[in-house]
A = this chain, B = another copy of it.
Amino acid sequence: MNIGEAARASGVSEKMVRHYEAIGLLHPARQANGYRSYAGGDVAVLRFIRHARDLAFPLEDIRKLLALWRDRGRASAEVRGLAMHHVAALEEKARALQAMASSLKHLAAHCHGDDRPDCPILDSLEGRHG
C-alpha cells in the first residue's frame, strides 16, 4: 500500500504520515522505486496516532503510548498514569482559557457597545485597573 492509500485508510494526511516517520513513530518498508510501503500494522499505528491526537496527546506522549501498546506485558497502571497526567494538563488549560473568557466577558458587560468612545475594556488593558 502506497502512502496515499495509507493516508486515506488512517485519516492522517500524507504530510503527517511522512512526519511521523521522520520522528520515528513508524518505519514503513520501501519499494524498489523508493516509494514507502505500508502494511496493515502501519495503518493501525497511524490510526492509533490519530486517535491519540484527537485527544490532544503530544507526540512525545504518543511515542510512549505506542511503546506501551506494543509491549504486551505492560502494566495498565502505566498507561493510566500517562492518561491522567494528560487529563490534568487538559483541565488546567481549559480552566485558564475559561478564566480569561470570564474576565473579558465581565469587562465587556460594562461596556456600552455603542457609538460612544468610552470603553472599560480598553481602560482595563491600559492598566487603570492593573
Q: Interface residues, chain A, CB within 8 Å of chain B? A: 44, 47-48, 51-52, 54-56, 65, 68-69, 72-77, 79-81, 83-84, 86-87, 90-91, 93-95, 97-98, 100-101, 103-105, 107-108, 111-119, 121-122, 124-127, 130
Contact = CB atoms under 8 A, between A and B. Distances in A.
Contacts of A111: 76, 79-80, 83
A77 B113 contact: yes
A48 B100 CA distance: 16
Contacts of A44: 126-127
Given A48-B125, A117-B73, A91 B83 contact: no
26 contacts: A44-B127, A48-B126, A48-B127, A51-B124, A51-B125, A51-B127, A54-B100, A55-B104, A56-B97, A74-B119, A75-B114, A75-B117, A76-B112, A77-B112, A77-B114, A77-B115, A79-B111, A79-B122, A80-B113, A80-B119, A83-B121, A84-B108, A90-B104, A91-B98, A93-B94, A93-B97
